[in-house]
Structure 1
Amino acid sequence: MKKMLLICIAVLGLAACSKKKPFESVKSGMTTAKVAELVGEPEHKMPMFIAEWWVYPTDNKMIIMVNDTVSKVVIDLKSVQDSMQSVTGDLKSLENQLKTQLDSLN
């Protein structure tokens, strides 16, 4: 009985490992088709000017595509989101300062 339980745990462990997507194998210059083959379609595709962001929030990853090829692989999506929130706050603060200065000139 214990032997069967250990075998089941080992099989489940191997199955869990096999579900990990191989983001480390995604490299700059790869085509969108190759990326989709390696790690699957993203949960979200976000067009951004000349690029498209492929977002994998479950895996905490993002791939930036330009002209249907990989430009950059972001390995820590959470840190990018935090940075963007910080920049947004800074821009709002700058906007308020500019409005104040413009109001004082009028």
Structure 2
Amino acid sequence: MGGFNLQVITFGKLQAQDGQGDALMDIIRQHMDYLKQQPGLVQGYVARCNGNSNKFLVVSVWANEEAQQAAMTRLSTDPEATKGFLQMMQLLNGQPDFGNYTVESIVK
């Protein structure tokens, strides 16, 4: 592809236990503060479901797969980030749905 690096999009669909939506939002914000310090992050989004304040969609767009993988490696070795992830898991109703996708096309 002539040196062109394809962007990568990661997402997490999370549902908090009843009454834990605001607490989960606080932890997600802390996670996003960590992500925005990472090289290669293009954009990050946190969205709350219309009609269900316990459901969230967290999306990050990375310049390329290498940047995303490097950030995840740093995240997994950072004690504060690991603590936040464990706190988040305790607030969830069921398992999160995580995905990692390579961008094939961009339309503006």
Q: Greater helix share, 1 or 2?
A: 1
- Tell me which protein shows more strand as a share of its residues: 2
Q: Mark yes or no: TM-score above 0.5.
A: no
Larger Rg: 1
More contact order relative to length (CA 8 Å, sep ≥ 6) = 2
Q: TM-score, normalised by structure 2?
A: 0.25
